[in-house]
Amino acid sequence: MDIIVVGLSHKTAPVAVREKVAFAPENMQQPLEQLQALPAVNEAIIISTCNRVELYAVSNDGDAALAQLKHFLVEYHQLSSNKLAKHLYVMQGDAAIRHLFRVTSSLDSMVIGEPQILGQIKTAYGFATEHKTAGLILNRFLHKAFSVAKRVRTETNIAGNAVSVSFAAVELARKIFGRIEGKTVLLIGAGEMCELAAKHFINNGVTRVLVTNRTFVRAEKLAAEFSGQPILFENFQEHLHQADIVLSSTGATNFIITPDKVNGALRRRKNRPLFFIDIAVPRDIDPRVNDINNVYLYDVDDLQGVVNANMKERHKEAEQAEEIVEHEIGQFQSWMAGLDVVPTIVALRQQIDELRQAELEKTFSSLKHLSDGDRKTIVAMSSALTNKILHPPTKVLKQAQQESNAQQYVDALQVLFDLEIAAPEGKLKAVESDN
């Protein structure tokens, strides 16, 4: 019994390849059922996002299943197998388990710690359960992956700090003001990034928005959009002291906000902190403004620097997350091993055979007159008998393993025959703690 994965991601394939291999969410039934129908595949799930396409399967013959999955991917999308091959990665066993755990925990994402991937995998799992291609093992596997992702999220700070420029601005404001609820934002000029940042601020509790623009009509339009207040560009300086956060992005070629003006505004607001975000290139705000007490000025490069620092912090957290993943792989492996029927069959046969040998010895020691031929016949009879007795349970166990519900028989046999099975350590513990 093995878990395998065939796939490609942003790490191995450009978008031009990824888009050709993607599966449309509105049509998942067909590919899932085709996968399930592959001879070597017992269970299957398809994860398809804009950054990755991965097919996970449970199989008794991993190598055969891998080949069939690859073939399926090529056939289904009518691609050339040579071209696709160099972008594909295949994993089996531990590596496949590790991979899904890492993907779900957002350790394999383009932006480490991004929150979307968990939802996307939950959706993919939804399709697999809807079309009944996920059985005992994949159910357990996916739920385990979700719980690993949850552990990573709660036990590490992997999603802790902003990794986009506009959100970094919001976080900086929080570092300065504590709460940004009830603060006032002044928007100078327009521009995509500026508006995006303003939206972030509003979503995070900013209640008052002032908008100014050289073209007053544009200021009015933008103000209406944010239910803010338009201000004439000519006298926006008069309103500077009302703002806690100033977002500037004009086409001006020289500084429109100077230390003088800021000092004046600061006096009028009794030194309450002012946070300037200068998104314009060339810059709108004199960098010397940053030297004034209680004033903080960030330009585009500064914000990018914050994002980079946050990124580094996430990478540090990711190292801890990897440890969690490794630990959970071990647990899941133990559970998988518990599903394997071979050790049970071996133990059962051994036990019966020992009994047979012991009884033969006892019989022969009291019947010393038997000829060698007679003895041979009795030995043959005893082994034929035990084999006949053992045949049906062996068959049932093997069948059950195919259907992935062997656990109940394994458990029953252990109790009924008092078997001691050389199980991997921690098996019982793993099963208990997972339930």
Partner 1 sequence: MGVNILFFKLTLLLYAVSTLLYLFSVVVNKPNSDRLGRWLLMGAFAVHTTTLVIRFYEAGYTPVTNLHESLSFFAWTLAGTFLLIDRRLRMAVLAATTSTIILVLMLFGSLMPMHIQMLNPALDSLWLPIHIGLAFMGNAVFTVAFVAGIFYLLQERMLKSKKFSALYYRLPSLDTLDTINYRCLTFGFPLMTMGIISGAVWADSAWGTYWSWDPKETWALITWFLYAALLHGRLTTGWRGRRAAILAIIGFAFLLFTFLGVNLLLPGLHSYSSMSG
Catalytic residues: 50
306 binds partner 1 (CB under 8 A): yes
**Is 290 one of the binding residues for partner 1 (CB under 8 A)?**
yes
Contact mark string toward partner 1, 142..161, x via CB under 8 A: -------------xxx--xx
Phi, psi values for residue 222, rounded to 5° = -65, -40
Inter-axis angle of helices 300-339 and 427-434, to 10 degrees? 120
Stretch that binds partner 1, among 106-114, 192-200, 268-276, 413-421 (CB under 8 A): 268-276
Interface residue with partner 1 among 15, 232, 281, 309 (CB under 8 A) is 309
Stretch that binds partner 1, among 9-17, 234-242, 270-278, 411-419 (CB under 8 A): 270-278
Q: Using CB under 8 A, pick the residue from 294, 382, 407, 414 that binds partner 1.
A: 294
In the bound state with partner 1, the residue whose beta carbon lies nearer, of 257 and 306, is 306
The rounded distance, in Å, linking the Cα atoms of 321 and 158 is 8
CB 267 within 8 A of CB 295: no
Span from 28-36, 80-88, 269-277, 361-369 in contact with partner 1 (CB under 8 A)? 269-277
The CB-of-149 to partner 1 minimum distance in angstroms stands at 17
Residue 273 touching partner 1 (CB under 8 A): yes
Two structure tokens written together for 124: 């993919």
Q: Please enumerate in sequence order all residues whose Cβ is within 8 A of that of 294, keeping only pairs 6 or more positions apart, or say none.
A: 266, 271, 272, 273, 274
176 binds partner 1 (CB under 8 A): yes
User: Binding-site residue total for partner 1 (CB under 8 A)?
Assistant: 27
Which of 94-102, 304-312, 352-360, 369-377 is the region at the interface with partner 1 (rule: CB under 8 A)?
Answer: 304-312
Q: Of 39, 178, 373, 392, which lies in the binding site for partner 1, with binding defined by CB under 8 A?
A: 178
The answer to whether residue 174 forms part of the interface with partner 1 (CB under 8 A) is: yes
**CA distances, 216 to each of 33, 151, 321, 360 (Å):** 59, 51, 51, 106
Q: Binding of partner 1 at residue 313 (CB under 8 A)? A: yes
From residue 101 to residue 140, the character string flagging contacts with partner 1 as x (rule: CB under 8 A) and all else as - is: ----------------------------------------
CB under 8 Å, gap of 24 or more: what pairs does 279-283 form? 279/191, 279/193, 279/194, 279/197, 279/247, 279/248, 279/249, 280/189, 280/191, 280/248, 280/249, 280/250, 280/251, 280/252, 282/252, 282/253, 282/254, 283/255
Between 66 and 266, whose beta carbon lies closer to partner 1? Answer: 266
The distance from CA 125 to its chain's CA centroid, rounded to whole angstroms, is 13
CB of 236 to partner 1, least distance (A): 23
- 89 touches partner 1 (CB under 8 A): no
- Rounded to whole angstroms, how far apart are CA atoms 162 and 164? 6
Q: Check: CB of residue 173 under 8 Å from CB of residue 245.
A: yes
Give me the least distance between CB of 356 and partner 1, in Å please. 59
Burial of 181 (0-12, 13-18, 19+ CB in 10 A): exposed
Answer for the pair 148, 321: CB distance below 8 angstroms, yes or no: no
Q: Is 212 in the site for partner 1 (CB under 8 A)?
A: no
Contacts of 20 (CB under 8 A, 6+ apart): 77, 79
Residue 54 CB contacts under 8 Å (≥ 6 apart), including other chains: 5, 6, 7, 8, 9, 46, 47, 48, 99, 103
**Spatial contact of 271 and 293, defined as CB atoms under 8 Å apart:** yes
Q: Does 172 bind partner 1 (CB under 8 A)?
A: yes
Q: Does 305 bind partner 1 (CB under 8 A)?
A: yes
Residue choice 125, 233, 298, 335 for contact with partner 1 (CB under 8 A): 298
Quick one: 37 or 281, whose CB is closer to partner 1?
A: 281
Distances (CA, A) of 302 to 154, 188, 298, 411: 29, 19, 5, 62
Binding residue for partner 1 (CB under 8 A) from 76, 146, 177, 364? 177
Does position 271 interact with partner 1 (CB under 8 A)? The reply is yes
Closest approach, Cβ 283 to partner 1, in A, equals 15
* Residue ranges in contact with partner 1 by CB under 8 A: 155-157, 160-161, 172, 174-179, 269-273, 290, 293-294, 296, 298, 302, 305-306, 309, 313
